[in-house]
Amino acid sequence: MSTPGVAWRSALRIVWVTFRFRLDRIPKELGLPLARLPWAARALLTLMACIPAGRTPGPERLRRAIEALGPIFVKFGQLLSSRPDLLTPAYATSLKRLQDRVTPFGEAAARTTLEAALGGPLEDHFATFEAAPLASASIAQVHGAELPNGERVVVKLRRPGIEDVIVDDLALLRQLARALARAWPEARRLRPEEVVEDYAHTILGELDFLAEAANTSQLRRNFRASPLLYVPKVHWPLCRENVLILERIYATPIGDLDALRAAGTDFKVLADRGVETFFTQVFEDNFFHADMHPGNIFVDLTDPKNPSYIAIDCAIIGTLTDADQTYLARNLLAFFNQDYAEVARLHVASGWVPAHTDVDAFEAVIREVCEPLFAQPLAEISFGHFLLTLFDTARAFDMTVQPQLVLLQKTLLNIEGLGRQLYPELDLWQTAKPFMERWLARQLNPLNRVRLHLEPLLAAAQSLPGLPAREAARDETIRNLETRLAALQAQPPRTASRPLGAAVLLSLGVGLTAGLSPALLGPLALLAGGLLLVLPRRHP
């Protein structure tokens, strides 16, 4: 856990970057209402107006400021770059450079990092190694290389010292979240501290390249027989916590629209397949790539009329519970069918709004928001904006942010923004609805529901053959602990710690051998200790 001083160091860095790049001018250029900012922020912007701005354009200043602020802010800039509908074209174009062209670290640092991780000179592991990086992002950069057997690979290296930067930024975010929760009652509904912790878990997970390698292997296995998506294979022998070795792929970046047009790509097929790929990951596999910005997606143009995707950078992966999956599918279909009563009921049943909510009143509000939107052609409605509008409206009913769904919401926004860039007429609704109907029909099939209920019983039955051995081991453990307990009680009772310690030891041993959840062991030990402390003891 970081100290408050670390968080304030990050806060001062933000103020310095804001001054350095004259970010006070950017809200005006984007047409943002400054009157809604807190008075302290408005005072800071007024003070900055006295500093010369130079001639660097606003889009370039914003991109360089985000780079200077570090990986957490770069991730946010990457999201904005895929949503040109939220920014002017100039700003969106500039922020696209954050996807794979962040300023790289030098060749010497790259070589030192790699040799330290592999425990020897590069020449012992690679036939060739390209000093100039192929791409550079917020947490790592990628180099081309060739293995001794001639296989072409890419080498992903973690930025030196990036862990300290991320810890500093997270410390600041945690303090801001706590301050918001204390000072602004409306923020409690958004559960900012939970959201920050969820994001911290995600971004800290990105630092472990062995976890990313495992995610990559799993995603590759999920789509091994599918024409929708290809995932490079992992070269496991050289992978380390800060080094990842993957098969090198040769394809067209999804953001290179000119190259895609020149090849005669069928953009409608490509956009529709992107939506299908997303829903397949979320509902069929329950294992979805949650960082699908354009820098991580390539297109295989072997057959331009039948293009397919290639995905890299599987550090951020999302999963959902069975309940979340079913709720989402039913909720989406209710929206598609304009069944506002079902939407309201599902929000209450899922816990998104409190159980005491007036369902009829909530339904009326949802209808009021949705009907004007559905008066437009579905293809013209932004699904992401629609959900955000609905969430904003539901605040009156104490609707809470669900941290476990933040990754899914972010990924859906990315997918829709990317799809609209490829094919502006993309009708995400039409593409998604049949998929949801088929998936939900399978889930609600009586035979499938019986199978779901039988699986725990089958798992329990499979464990029965080993039950006698576990029982014998448990009995042996209990006899040993009872012997130890008797020996302790036979000694003079100098303090209460002896019987308490023995009780804890006995209860933990019984709990572990009985297979109890670790969450139950603590209360069990305290209960046993309490009983021994209050019961009369015999003294020799």
- The residues annotated with a catalytic role in the active site are 291
In whole angstroms, give the CA distance from residue 345 to residue 523: 37
The helix, strand and coil proportions of the chain, stated in percent and rounded to the nearest 5, come to 65, 10, 30
CA distances from 236 to 140, 148, 211, 220, 327 (A): 18, 15, 12, 14, 38
Helix (H, G, I), strand (E, B) or coil at 245: strand
Residue type, 165: V
Would you give the DSSP letter of residue 150?
Answer: S
Residue 493 phi/psi, 5° resolution? -80, 80
Placement of tokens 């394809």 in the chain: 251
- Residue 414 near residue 394 (C-beta atoms within 8 A): no
Residue 511 phi/psi, 5° resolution? -65, -40
Give the number of other Cβ atoms within 10 Å of residue 121's Cβ: 11
Placement of tokens 């979340």 in the chain: 324
- Residue 191 near residue 222 (C-beta atoms within 8 A): no
Which residue stretches of 423-463 are H helix? 428-443, 446-462
Residue type, 224: R
Residue 128 phi/psi, 5° resolution? -140, 155
In whole angstroms, give the CA distance from residue 102 to residue 105: 9
Helix (H) or strand (E) holding 125: none
In whole angstroms, give the CA distance from residue 206 to residue 313: 9
What CA dihedral angle connects 109, 110, 112 and 117, to 10 degrees? 140
Residue type, 517: S
Would you give the DSSP letter of residue 224?
Answer: T
Q: Round the CA-based radius of gyration of the chain to a whole number and report it.
A: 28
Tokens of 490: 């036979």
Placement of tokens 């997270």 in the chain: 170
